[in-house]
Amino acid sequence: MAANSPDDFTLSREFDASRETLWACLTDPQRMRQWWGPKGCKVVAANMDLRPGGSYHYGLDMPNGQTMWGKFVYREIVAPERLNFINFFSDEKGGVTRHPLAPNWPLEMLSTFTLEKTNGKTRFTVRWSPHNATKEERETFDSPEMRIGMSNGWTGTLDQLEAYLKSL
């Protein structure tokens, strides 16, 4: 696993759920269909091969009617505490594509999801950093506008996870 940088994007939230329940929400494609993605999106495809070298390829119907695709390629899986993977925007076939709204966004992101027990709850932490990025892509990632966008997007996604957990 690559070392973390102080420039990584990191966001954490505590959930009133066990680590095992949260792990299942991150590793079961049927559960991912219920909450994954920004608010207002619906998962329309969820194909997962959960193993190092395997992938999660998904499609999201966006509020504007378009379908956006993404893919994780798993590097490290330590149940029930950590997932480490490369993620990127993709096409329907799983090929790497550019961010549909930010052409200078890094093609690949190194992502780590960690789950830690905390006082009867579980802290879910997302850590993102550009992977194999150009200087321009790193500058885009580090820009204040993109940091706000990442924070808003992940906050909405975690809100959906929290609502899903309450429905169980």
DSSP result, 88-127: EEE-TTS-B---SS-TTS-SEEEEEEEEEEETTEEEEEEE
Q: Is residue 4 situated within a structural domain?
A: no
At 75-84, the pLDDT tens digits run 999 999 999 9
| CA–CA gap between residue 158 and residue 154 (Å, rounded) | 6
pLDDT given for residue 2 in this prediction:
45
- Structural domain of 152: 10-167
Q: Cβ of 18: how many Cβ atoms within 10 Å? A: 15
- Tell me how many domains the chain contains: 1
Q: Is residue 143 situated within a structural domain?
A: yes
Q: Is residue 22 situated within a structural domain?
A: yes
pLDDT given for residue 39 in this prediction:
87
Query: What whole-number percentage of the chain has pLDDT above 70?
Result: 96
Read off the CATH number of the domain in which 107 is found.
3.30.530.20
3-state secondary structure of 53: coil
pTM: 0.93
Q: Is residue 5 situated within a structural domain?
A: no
At 100-156, the pLDDT tens digits run 889 999 999 999 999 999 999 999 999 999 999 999 999 999 999 999 999 999 999
Q: Are 17 and 41 in contact (CB under 8 A)?
A: no
